Structure 1
Amino acid sequence: MQTGIFRLFAKAILVAVCVTALTASVRPNNLEQVRMHGEIVMVTRNSPTTFFEDRAGPTGYEMELAQAFAQYLNVDLKVIVADNLSDIFSTLETGKAAFAAAGLTNTPDRDRWFRFSQPYMQVSEQVIYRRGGVRPKEAVDLAQGKLVVAAGSSHAERLRMVQVRQIPELTWSESPDLEVADLLQMVASGNIDFTVVDSNEFRMLQAYYPNLGVAFDLSEQQDIAWAFAYSRDDSLYKAANEFFNQQETAPLLAELSERYYGHLDKLDYVGARRFLRQTNKKLDTYRPHFELASEQSGIDWRLLAAVGYQESHWNPNARSYTGVRGLMMLTRNTARELGIKNRLDPQQSIMGGSRYLAKLRERLDSVQEPDRTWLALAAYNVGYGHLTDARKITAEMGGNPDLWMDVKEALPLLSQKRYYRNTRHGYARGQEPVDYVQNIRRYYDVLVWNEEQEQNFPEDGETLQLSSSMITVIPPLL
């Protein structure tokens, strides 16, 4: 009797084990669930280096990279924009997002709680100060002024490490309500003395705050990567690493790097201050003409204004040694072709320049934006024929003639005989259109930033005040 009961009990256990194994075997993992639902959710933050919206819609380095990952998985991308870093990590922990793509540094503290993908960028943490103010040379000098960083940031973690290991008397304030641009604005206005930001973010924003500089690097190079919540199911994490390791991702990262960072070094401290002075002094006079030209040509007025500044510094009487004249520096033949009777009339010059640039863009109709615009700008400077020669050289060298990042490598070769001797239009000073386009891109960035920040930041001479509810003061160690 007991033997029969034992056999029945054993069979019941065996059935239960088999059912459990069968159920577990058919339960889809996280990657399979994403593909079943047809979408993957990313959490990010608003920043010029991560995610923002412009007139064309959502964009940003992290946004475009995440879109490519979604395409790799053959699903749609859904984006959650968090208010601060703490919200980013809580969104991951609660499973509301599959991964975080927000310019996150892989730090020892974060690595305890989250799984980080293969890195796709390296940055250093930099102490930022106001030129003419106190310039700290090392971390101990930060006690000479007021230091504020974003709460929950890798910079706050770094400062705590410095406090524990090196400088117990170090103090600073943290705020969850301030982003990088807010902190830089506060340093620029004199409301605080120092802040700490990642090197890529300061490169992106430095031209908007020409009175700011890097005091010193607070850290060595660190990895930027995507974050995933820790789980036994690491299928999405592995898929992300497979995405970064695939052959197609390397050129994508190079293209994104060029698009968002490739032109940032063209506007130095002196050039940025001069540009801002000229903007305050002259732009309002010509802005109505640029806006009217924009309506007729379909080209952003701020880009046209950037072209005008690069050509003549908004001087309607400008003239080069080659005879091009006016605010948009039109040749006599181009002006005649466009019906411009007086090249020195600023309105006529702006209208003519905008129509000419629009015609060049139309001729490049097979090229996708923004490369189409950058190539058209190069043609505005060096001529469409020389641009065609450079695109041919690009293709012969194995590059993509529709990508600015490839064509800008070929353009300088037009000054070398072994290259230009086999072209239709011959020699050209090919480095000039490269510098020309990169400068215009930077001027355009600044004009866009200025317009979009007018209502977000205080006027010159005013101060952005911190309330006690916005910051947490980190006291020295006892």
Structure 2
Amino acid sequence: MLVGTVVLLTGCSRPSTVTEIRQEGVLHVITRRSPSVYFEGPHGATGFEYELVQRLAKRLGVELRLRVVDDYDKIVSVLDNSYAHIGMGGFAPGPERKDRFQTVTTSLTLTSTVVYNRDVKPVRAPEALSGRVVHTVENSNHIEPLKELRHTQDNIRWIPHPRLTTVEILKRVNTGEVGVAVVDSTDLALNHVYFPDVKKGVALTEPRPVAWLLPRQQDGSLRKLAEQMMRDLQSDGTLAHLRERFFGHLDRLDYVGARTFLYHVRNRLPRYQAIFRSTADHYDLDWRLLAAIGYQESHWRPNAVSPTGVRGLMMLTRSTARYVGIDNRRNAEQSIDGGAQYFRTMRRRIPEDIPEPDRTWFALAAYNVGMGHLEDARKLTQRGGDDPHRWADVKEYLPRLAEKQWYTKTEHGYARGYEPVVYVQNIRRYYDVLRWLRPNDDESTHRNQPVIPPLPSLDGSAPPQSADNRPGPPRLNRMLGEAPPTL
């Protein structure tokens, strides 16, 4: 079965019964790009709803064909004309859409959630929106709740943006260009870590089920088959497994408190430090960098599973494990060896005229988002008049891969471009701290290295003073003051 193919649908009505779909041999689906719906990841097409519709096509015994569009209006228009069998886009249909379409719930729920810039007046209750201008995506799930709110709250005005995605709305709130907005809770949870100046406000709705939309003209057989599939997937645990894959580790890229990191350095790292050392020596790597990657990936947990289904201490995909000759991803020694091989491969593919340490930062970004997306960002950097050989420049362009006006101009399309930026910066932080904690592995200890202040002790006592008593970088100092998250 061919899946993940992005094609233009023909301008004719689609068959309306399961029998006719099987006769044609194709399930036509229209969708939009979203981390919770469908996107091209470093290892191919993925997304929670995409995984489900793949299974439906398999159950039908037909090919899956996708048409990918950039806004809700196009999905609705295609379905109104019966040019597709299913529309998926993180819809939480209200009364208007339920009257207009058949629906199939996916087991996810979402709320219409207010967000605001940390420098504006907080929005902790619906009343706080009175007299405010609220921004949202045009024809999104939030228009009906805003209309309902107008019945009880005076002077509420909203601006629907037809050309912006949720990520682009969040970016504008983060910069202060937009003060208040309403977004899907799911998209907020997936992207909040990238926008530190965005504050979560009041939810305007109770949790509502996310559903696929099907043309009203269909005879109902496809809806019934899809509903039965959802019940089967619920019963056999597949839905729970998919929810865990995509949404179970949403704090994975958060800034982890230094105290928590130090705790794991003391209590987890000793179990694997000898493996990191010997493996790094074999592949001519710094073991502390390899350990920093492992911590970012799994917090040094051999049984960890990521939102995208990769697993093990170094979070290898099944295909990557095969490529590097690993048959047990949950074996710590094999996982570390596979991660080292894959990272070395990425670094060797980085152009040789990119000097260190930028070459390592680029390799880390490719390890996370894929070489194709990294090259797209480097090309955007060059077109923007900046240096594609400098990480400091390219990391400013990587987030643009999540924005429609930019990713449509690239070879590999949409990517969650904020993720590799946070990924690389986190690893750099862990690596610097490990170099401070284990300095004897450096031939030039403390030479040309950033000044890292002593970490606070776990018992809350004051840390010892550094040898030269110089303060550390402000961002690291802020990190040291953060409370450790629950792991």
Instruction: Tell me if both proteins adopt one fold, taking TM over 0.5 as the criterion.
Output: yes
Q: Do the aligned partners of residues 340 and 319 (structure 1) sit closer, same or farther apart at CA in structure 2, a change above 3 Å counting?
A: farther
Contact 1:139 1:218 in 2 (8 A): yes
Q: Do the aligned partners of residues 157 and 348 (structure 1) sit closer, same or farther apart at CA in structure 2, a change above 3 Å counting?
A: same
Distance in 2 (alpha carbons) for counterparts of 1:223 and 1:369: 21
Shift of 1:247: 5.1
Aligned to 2:281: 339
Give the counterpart of 2:191 among 183, 205, 227.
205
Q: Do the aligned partners of residues 319 and 257 (structure 1) sit closer, same or farther apart at CA in structure 2, a change above 3 Å counting?
A: closer
Letter in 1 for 2:286: Q
Shift of 1:57: 2.2
Which residues of 2 match residues 296-315 of structure 1 at below 5 A? none
Shift of 1:168: 4.1
Q: Do the aligned partners of residues 34 and 385 (structure 1) sit closer, same or farther apart at CA in structure 2, a change above 3 Å counting?
A: closer
Shift of 1:376: 4.0
Distance in 1 (alpha carbons) for counterparts of 2:19 and 2:283: 66
Distance in 2 (alpha carbons) for counterparts of 1:136 and 1:129: 7
Which residues of 2 match residues 92-103 of structure 1 at below 5 A? 92-103=79-90
Q: Secondary structure of the equivalent of 2:312?
A: helix
Give the counterpart of 1:58 among 18, 37, 45.
45
Shift of 1:138: 2.2
| Structure 1 residues 71-123: Cα deviation after superposition (integer angstroms, max 9, x where no partner) | 11111111111221111111111111101111100211111111111442111
Which residues of 2 match residues 231-380 of structure 1 at below 5 A? 231=217, 233-246=219-232, 250-266=236-252, 271=256, 320-321=265-266, 331-332=273-274, 334-336=276-278, 339=281, 347-349=285-287, 371=309, 373-377=310-314
Q: Do the aligned partners of residues 35 and 191 (structure 1) sit closer, same or farther apart at CA in structure 2, a change above 3 Å counting?
A: same
Shift of 1:332: 3.9
Aligned to 1:423: none
Aligned to 1:120: 107
Matched, 1:171 2:157: yes
Aligned to 1:35: 22
Distance in 1 (alpha carbons) for counterparts of 2:232 and 2:265: 49
Shift of 1:353: 5.6
When the two chains are superposed, the root-mean-square deviation of aligned CA atoms in Å is 4.3
Q: Secondary structure of the equivalent of 2:178?
A: coil
Aligned to 2:76: 89
Give the counterpart of 2:34 among 43, 47, 65.
47
Contact 2:117 2:178 in 1 (8 A): no
Q: Report percent identity of matched pairs.
A: 23
Distance in 2 (alpha carbons) for counterparts of 1:193 and 1:352: 41
Letter in 2 for 1:349: W
Q: Do the aligned partners of residues 189 and 320 (structure 1) sit closer, same or farther apart at CA in structure 2, a change above 3 Å counting?
A: closer
Contact 1:378 1:387 in 2 (8 A): no
Contact 2:280 2:287 in 1 (8 A): no
Shift of 1:43: 0.9
Q: Secondary structure of the equivalent of 2:28?
A: strand
Shift of 1:271: 4.1
Q: Secondary structure of the equivalent of 1:246?
A: helix
Letter in 1 for 2:216: Y
Aligned length: 316
Q: Secondary structure of the equivalent of 2:251?
A: helix
Contact 1:338 1:356 in 2 (8 A): no
Distance in 2 (alpha carbons) for counterparts of 1:87 and 1:336: 55
What 5-or-longer segments of structure 2 have no aligned partner? 1-14, 296-301, 317-326, 333-363, 378-394, 405-487
Greater Rg over alpha carbons, structure: 1
Distance in 2 (alpha carbons) for counterparts of 1:102 and 1:161: 22
Distance in 2 (alpha carbons) for counterparts of 1:356 and 1:457: 29
Aligned to 2:62: 75
Q: Secondary structure of the equivalent of 1:48?
A: coil
| Structure 1 residues 286-322: Cα deviation after superposition (integer angstroms, max 9, x where no partner) | xxxxxxxxxxxxxxxxxxxxxxxx978xxxxx99547
What 5-or-longer segments of structure 1 have no aligned partner? 1-27, 275-309, 313-317, 358-363, 390-439, 459-478
Distance in 2 (alpha carbons) for counterparts of 1:243 and 1:261: 21
Letter in 1 for 2:193: A
Letter in 2 for 1:255: H
Shift of 1:231: 2.0
Aligned to 1:107: 94
Contact 1:243 1:249 in 2 (8 A): no
| Structure 1 residues 407-464: Cα deviation after superposition (integer angstroms, max 9, x where no partner) | xxxxxxxxxxxxxxxxxxxxxxxxxxxxxxxxx9xx968x999664146679xxxxxx
Distance in 1 (alpha carbons) for counterparts of 2:268 and 2:218: 70
Matched, 1:193 2:193: no
Q: Secondary structure of the equivalent of 1:240?
A: helix
- Tell me the TM-score normalized by structure 1: 0.57
Which of the pair is proportionally richer in helix? 1
- Tell me the TM-score normalized by structure 2: 0.56
Contact 1:117 1:225 in 2 (8 A): yes
Q: Do the aligned partners of residues 250 and 221 (structure 1) sit closer, same or farther apart at CA in structure 2, a change above 3 Å counting?
A: farther
